[in-house]
Amino acid sequence: MVVVNLKLCYVFVRRKDKLFNRGAGMDRKQYLKELEEEHLTVKRLFSEIGRAIERKDSRDTGWFAEKLNDLKTLLLRHVYREDEMLYKDLREEAVKLNQDALLPALDVFMESMHGLSVAAGKFFDKYDTTEKIRVNLEELGRELAAISDAMDKRMKSEEGSLFHIYRAYFHL
């Protein structure tokens, strides 16, 4: 099993992400499309793992560990990209357009995501070995469902509000 060091992964993503160069040359339409695709992948991974747990799938715990690691890595990259680009772009445009009323809403989104990220980090740390997964598979299923529900609500909220504002701000 591969264990991902979250801080090192965050630094790596920042160095390798071609979209990190925010500004006039950035393909914002492609960026937003990638965020939406990542949302679908996150939902698929949560569902795939959850269904396997519900079926008491005979796959070995190595499969669960691999899928959890995939999910953790994707979530880390996704949250980083939103923090470093989406929220910064929205904040800068709101200030530039004198739409200060949006700023508190952005703060609420960012604070709630921080809380969700902390909970997800604790979850992934709790199930970071195949032995912990094997011994606690039923509990993992309950906790996975709770985090999945929270993430799903979060993604729907972003897609239903922030992504629309982003499209309007940048004429996408």
* pLDDT in the model for residue 166: 95
pLDDT digits (tens, 9 = 90+) for 127-147: 999 999 988 988 999 999 999
Instruction: Output the six-digit token pair for 154.
Output: 């979060």
* Alpha-carbon span 132 to 61, nearest angstrom: 9
Domain ranges of the chain: 29-169
pLDDT digits (tens, 9 = 90+) for 13-22: 554 455 556 6
Q: Which residue has the higher pLDDT, 6 or 32?
A: 32
pLDDT digits (tens, 9 = 90+) for 94-116: 999 999 999 998 888 888 888 88
17 contacts 81 by C-beta, under 8 angstroms:
yes
Residue type present at position 21: N
Does the structure show a pLDDT above 80 at 1?
no
Q: Considering the entire predicted model, what is its pTM?
A: 0.83
pLDDT digits (tens, 9 = 90+) for 25-74: 789 999 999 999 999 999 999 999 999 888 876 567 889 999 999 999 99
